[in-house]
Each structure stands twice: as structure tokens, then as C-alpha cells.
Amino acid sequence: MENIYEISRLVYLSLAYSNGNKRIVTEHQTELVELLQRFQAEEAFHQAVLESLRGMELQLLEVEPLALRLSARNSASFFAATLTDYGKMLARTPLKAAELLCVHCAVATAFFPTEADLDAPVEDLGVIVPGDVIEILRLFAKGEETVDPEDEILHPEVRTAAKRLRELPEENPDSKRAVGGNSWLELITRVLEHMVATGYLLEFKEESEEVEYRPTPAYQSSMRVAAVYAFHSFREIVAERKMAMTPPEHSGEMPHV
């Protein structure tokens, strides 16, 4: 019973950490480190924390140096972020939230183009740059146009967002002021920066080189265990579009000269 307060504090501070709340984490860093040490050193405390997470429908993705990386156990969980939540956090409007969801799906598709990639060693998944995400958004925006309007494969707001994406420029001519989400590049920049801040991506930049992004084990784990219906639907449309654009294989005959 004496551990209930400490367990609750570790879960609370780890949730703040997992959601990118640097202010709370910084203010309670000493307490968080001590609780994390107990979690790793004391089996009874460790198991009690895991039981608490199960009861709250949370899952442990990774034990990181600063805190526990947590996420909702399923899409019905109280802690699962909805399109509306995401809109309030990053987008301000439901439409912009749907656009950002498309970008999230494009990022995931870039790292995990096949189901096998969700189980591959994370160090083998390589890196991506914003241009890779733009290319996948191109495929999705074109592929979504061919989907039957009666098909319920995508959320209506995501379909509206796909139409909006087709109307946006890929890059804003004034891209150095990428703050308004008025181009694909600005949307991608916003999502990638948020994923770095919340520990799902690592950012690398060599001198005079483009910024590269690498997935973390927490990101791969969250995509593997969560029921991310939008991602699988998005990836399916991209794969079908790629297949439609691939020229048929020629027979072995030599062409006439």
C-alpha cells in the first residue's frame, strides 16, 4: 500500500514525458530518476507498476534513460489520442488534424512499407528525409482519387484531407517561414518535429546535409502493437498506386533494332 503514491507518480511523470511535456519532466527530474531506478531495481515495485499500467489501459513501449515511454493500449483507451485531440494539440482545426494524420501515415509507411518491417531490427530500418514523405503523399493523393466514394476504407475527414492535399503546393516558396501548414513540406516539418520531441524519431544532421530521421524502438513498438487502422488503409492505397505505376515486365525477347 505504501507504494501506491510512488507508482502513481512514476506513471504520471512518464505520461508527461511520453507526451513531450518538458516543463513537468524538468521540474521533477530528480524524483523521476529515483522512481525509474526503483522500477529497474525492485521486482515487486516493477510488477506493481506494470499492473497499474494494465489497469489504466496503458502499455510500456520502452524503458528509456529519463522515464518510461508509455502509450494507450488500444484505440478505445481513455488515453488514446483522437483526431480531435490531435487537432487541438498541433492543428487547431479538425481538417488540419486530418491532414497531419495523413502525414503521420506517410512517415510510418516510409519506415514500415511492409508488415515484416514492424518486426525487423530497428537499426535495419534506415533513415528518411522529408522528400521521402512527400513522395509517399504523392502516391496516396493520387491513389485516393481512384477509391470508390462508397468504400469506407478511409475516415471521411481523411478523404477530405486527401482532396485538400491535392490542392496544396508541395513546397511553399517561402518555406523558411514554415509555420502555417500551407504546404506539404510545412505539414511534414511540423509532424517530424513533434515526433522528435516525443521520442519516436531521432534527428541527425551532418554539416550542409539534409536533416535525416531514424525511428526509435518505441515508435516501432507503438506501430506494431497498436490497432492503427488508418495507417494500414493508407499503406494499402500507396502500395496499390505503386503497383499501378510499375510497368509490366517484358518477355525475354530481344527488341528489334
Task: Kindly report, residue by residue over 32-80, the tens digit of the pLDDT.
Answer: 999 999 999 999 999 999 999 999 888 888 888 889 988 777 666 676 6
Which one-letter amino acid corresponds to residue 176? K
Q: What is the pLDDT of residues 173-210, one digit of tens each?
A: 444 444 445 678 888 888 898 888 877 889 988 776 78
Percent above pLDDT 70 for the chain: 77
Q: Are residues 171 and 192 in the same domain?
A: yes
Domain for residue 218, yes or no? yes
Q: Are residues 51 and 151 in the same domain?
A: no
Does residue 130 carry a pLDDT above 50?
yes
Q: Are residues 132 and 47 in the same domain?
A: no
Quote the CA–CA distance of 240 and 221 in Å, as a whole number. 25
Global pTM reads 0.68
- Going from the C-alpha of 221 to that of each of 72, 119, 235, the distances in angstroms are 12, 9, 18
Q: Are residues 150 and 214 in the same domain?
A: yes
Pairing of strands 201-204, 212-215: antiparallel
Domain closes at, from 15, 49, 72: 72
Quote the CA–CA distance of 225 and 157 in Å, as a whole number. 24
Domain for residue 78, yes or no? no
Which residues are registered as beta bridge partners of 202? 214
Residue 176's pLDDT is: 45
Q: Are residues 128 and 45 in the same domain?
A: no
Confidence of residue 233 (pLDDT cuts 50, 70, 90): confident
Domain closes at, from 14, 48, 72: 72
Confidence of residue 90 (pLDDT cuts 50, 70, 90): low
Range with lowest mean pLDDT among 62-66, 104-108, 177-181, 219-223: 177-181
Among 93-97, 110-114, 145-149, 234-238, the range of highest mean pLDDT: 110-114
Domain for residue 167, yes or no? yes
Range with lowest mean pLDDT among 29-38, 75-84, 136-145, 209-218: 75-84
Q: Are residues 102 and 196 in the same domain?
A: yes
Domain for residue 255, yes or no? no
SS3 assignment, position 121: coil
Does residue 166 carry a pLDDT above 70?
yes
Q: Are residues 20 and 62 in the same domain?
A: yes
Q: Are residues 223 and 161 in the same domain?
A: yes
Quote the CA–CA distance of 86 and 102 in Å, as a whole number. 12
Specify whether the CB–CB gap between 98 and 158 falls below 8 A.
yes
Instruction: Quote the domain boundaries for residue 68.
Output: 4-72
Our count of domains for the chain comes to 2
Query: Radius of gyration (Cα) for the chain, nearest Å?
Result: 21
Q: Are residues 140 and 173 in the same domain?
A: yes
Residue 57's pLDDT is: 85
- What is the Cα 32 distance to its own chain's centre? 25
Q: Are residues 151 and 59 in the same domain?
A: no
